[in-house]
Amino acid sequence: MLTIKVLGPGCDNCRRVEEVARAAVSAAGVAAEFEKVTDRADFARYNLLATPGLVINEKLVSAGRIPNQVEVMAWVTNALAVA
């Protein structure tokens, strides 16, 4: 199972990143656990400089923008191949 974290203060962009990630996971037909990380102190653990951030299996894959579903599906596929 994948672990996906959305890093940010809970803004609209953060919610959009989560929506895109959920849609990508659903389209890929894989199971994932989602977590929202809103504590700015935790952002430093992932070297996040700009929110929103997207972390898949403890690897920061996107920062400061809203990725599209195709990008997230590629990251999910890569994370599954590594796991």
Encoding tokens for residue 79? 């994370």
Residues in the chain: 83
Q: Which residues are catalytic?
A: 11, 14
| 3-state class (DSSP) for residue 11 | coil
DSSP result, 29-66: T--EEEEEE--HHHHGGGT--SS-EEEETTEEEEESS-
